[in-house]
Structure 1
Amino acid sequence: MGVLAALAILAGLIVVHEAGHFFAATWQGIRVSSFSIGFGPVLLQRQRRGVQFALRAIPLGGFVAFPDDEAGSTIPKDDPNLLSNRPLPQRALVIAAGVLANLLLAWLVLVAQSAVVGIPAGFSATPGVLVSGVQSGQPAAIAGLQPGDRILSLAGEPLAGGQTAVMEMVERIQASPSQSLELVAERNGSRVQLQLTPSDLDGTGRVGAQLQPFGEEAYRPARGPLEPIRQANRDFTTLLSRTAGGFFTLITHFGETAGQVSGPVKIVEMGASFAQQGGSSLFLFTALISINLAVLNALPLPLLDGGQFVLLLLEGLRGRPLPERLQMAFMQSGFVFLVGLSLVLIVRDTSQLPAVQQLLAR
């Protein structure tokens, strides 16, 4: 059920993103030819008011198509309702609407979380440090650490709990490059002993794991109708700034952080874990992935909304569109890159699933 919930959330976020483009176009009277979820061959379709609504075979996103893009379209090229014949601000709104829709959805989900689950009233920490993520190929993964492990002691020293325990563990790791550290962790109710050897990065130890305090967040009912909105504003700002910062770090330190990039399989696995926890976790997962989808699509890469904005900006600076062959080459290169990257991530993340690793180990 957790996997199904995660898949449903991802599908819903894609629908919201594409619906942003669709409604921004139709609201302005711009012609739309199709609204598709997925790519490739059509599995299911329905025609409504001249628009093809389709579910396609490759579930790696979606798209809204316009008659401008169709070689066999019978609509005259000078039709004022074609997207390409509209002023730049109207076309910019259509492009930006997908990102804006995901950001708005994330904010609404956070408002709902504060209203339904409550307002954070403090963290009840218990001894240990939680491993929330492990980077493939890094010392933590090599040592055998897994997401969900609760680290009880490091180098013979028990970890008391809370943010202090996280900082103590980070400081000990950073101070021990290339040194073997004995680690005791709790996993599924039993204890495991591991040997963790931090890598040496310019004299500082690194293990490639995300750590956080172990315990439970306490919540209280909201005091009035405006408190959920204020709490959502704070949470939204924090998530957006951290997500944007993460993408910036990925771009500026690609070699060190590329292994942390997750594909669809890993995202579904993470979503299933959140779904099993229930409560605020599923709200947080939905908001976080929606913000990530918005920031990702805002990047100036071919085939993404940010790439479309680059073409629009160049058109505004030049006073006319780029030659069609250049635009086509730009988009085709983006398609090859994104599909190739998705396939690599799917293969990598699938191979790291515990069940798959057990089969490979036989």
Structure 2
Amino acid sequence: MGQFLQGAVSFVPTLLIAIVVFGALIFIHELGHFLTAKWSGIKVNEFSIGMGPKLWGWQRGETLYALRLLPIGGYVSMEGEDEESNEPRAFQRAAVWKRIIVTAAGAVMNLALGFIVLLIVVCLQGQIVSRTVYGFQENAASQQSGLQQGDTIVAVNGRRCYIANDVSYELARSANGTADLTVERGEKTVELENVRFNSYTLEGQQQSGLDFIVYGLPLSPVAVLKEAGAWTMSYARLVVLSFADLVTGRIPVTDLSGPVGIVQTIGQVSTMGVESLLLLVALITVNLGVFNLLPVPALDGGRLVFLILEAVRRKPVPQKFEIAVNAAGFILLIGLMLFATFNDVTRLIA
């Protein structure tokens, strides 16, 4: 019993950090919808952070500002968004281009926040980790395969590398521990096929890792902006690749992690320092932005599909059909979240 109470008490700071992180990311996302809706002249009935029972509410003008019990989401309720309305300022009566901006604004805000957080991280690191080879480990297999000092790695297996970490990620995706590299060597672009890397054993499995070191570059305003943008692009692509791997079965569904797993990860990373926590926050907010733009019903991306169809066809998709599709998508997403939470709990018990 004592161990349980001790564990529960130690979990409180982690939970508080997670609530603050989730709350901030949800607020930024919904603020994007809210501000663009107001700018577009659309009536906003409620701006809510959290889901479920209302803990606090404040009515100002036509809008109710609310804080709700469960910090797992939020919403901006716009007049006529999901129902018929005769209100002149209803969502459905706004120009389609304005509705596209309002719908996309939440995800754009998350991506912008990710970029800002990564700007801070790059500055904290004190230097930029390049993709240019400085030297090799002793008996480095990559050097024996043709990689040379001064080579700048621009792509692995045909996929562009935005940051140094992309090289490690792409190597981990390679089935046989080898990779095709595209490098800049002086003024030439050189293709290196089947480059091998030194291997090591991790938990009984043979792994390949980078056997070279790269240059560190000094910070400058332009370099920091470019590096933060590169990190944002890398994280965004990581989300898309992970989703594709999940759909194709490369990543098993049992590896899915939900809110419980994310809270646990936040707790672990928060002990590693501010820089590590900021990197995780950036990854989560970019993940939230990109995931919401996927063309999946009930997500902002699914709604954008209907709006783009309306713009092309010059007439809206029947609202009842759109509502039904989004409702089905919402049920699917809730089921997926419950399954991911079940995975988290199972891993904790094990």
If the length of structure 1 is used for normalisation, what is the TM-score? 0.67
Q: Distance in 2 between matches of 1:211 and 1:293?
A: 31
Q: 2:267 maps to what in 1?
A: 272
Determine which of 326, 330, 343 is the counterpart of 1:331. 326
Offset of 1:256 from its aligned partner?
4.3
1:29 counterpart SS class: coil
Task: Quote the sequence identity (%).
Answer: 31
Determine which of 338, 341, 346 is the counterpart of 1:343. 338
Q: Distance in 2 between matches of 1:8 and 1:335?
A: 25
Residues 316/273 of structure 1: CA separation in 2 closer, same or farther (3 Å cut): same
Q: 2:54 maps to what in 1?
A: 42
Q: Distance in 2 between matches of 1:212 and 1:289?
A: 26
Q: 2:27 maps to what in 1?
A: 15
Q: 1:31 maps to what in 2?
A: 43
Offset of 1:170 from its aligned partner?
7.9
Q: 1:262 maps to what in 2?
A: 257
Offset of 1:70 from its aligned partner?
7.2
Q: Distance in 2 between matches of 1:314 and 1:184?
A: 52
Contact 1:17 1:99 in 2 (8 A): yes
Q: Distance in 2 between matches of 1:69 and 1:28?
A: 14
Q: Distance in 1 between matches of 2:264 and 2:215?
A: 25
Offset of 1:7 from its aligned partner?
3.0
Q: 2:122 maps to what in 1?
A: 114
Q: Distance in 1 between matches of 2:125 and 2:292?
A: 30
Residues 39/279 of structure 1: CA separation in 2 closer, same or farther (3 Å cut): closer
Determine which of 290, 295, 298 is the counterpart of 1:303. 298
1:334 counterpart SS class: helix
Residues 40/2 of structure 1: CA separation in 2 closer, same or farther (3 Å cut): closer
Contact 1:117 1:219 in 2 (8 A): no
Q: Is it true that 1:77 corresponds to 2:89 in the alignment? A: no
**What are the equivalent positions in structure 2 for 1:211-230 lying under 5 Å apart?**
223-230=219-226
Contact 1:119 1:231 in 2 (8 A): no
Offset of 1:102 from its aligned partner?
0.6
Offset of 1:257 from its aligned partner?
3.4
Q: Is it true that 1:283 corresponds to 2:278 in the alignment? A: yes
Number of aligned residues? 281
Q: Distance in 1 between matches of 2:45 and 2:103?
A: 16
The runs of 5 or more residues in structure 1 that have no matched partner are 127-162, 173-182, 186-193, 199-204, 358-362
Offset of 1:218 from its aligned partner?
11
Query: Structure 1 residues 331-340 or 100-109, which shifts more?
Result: 331-340
Deviations 1:167-196 (A, max 9, x none): 8x9858xxxxxxxxxx987xxxxxxxx6x4
1:42 counterpart SS class: strand
Offset of 1:287 from its aligned partner?
0.9
Determine which of 215, 220, 243 is the counterpart of 2:239. 243
The runs of 5 or more residues in structure 2 that have no matched partner are 1-12, 138-167, 178-199
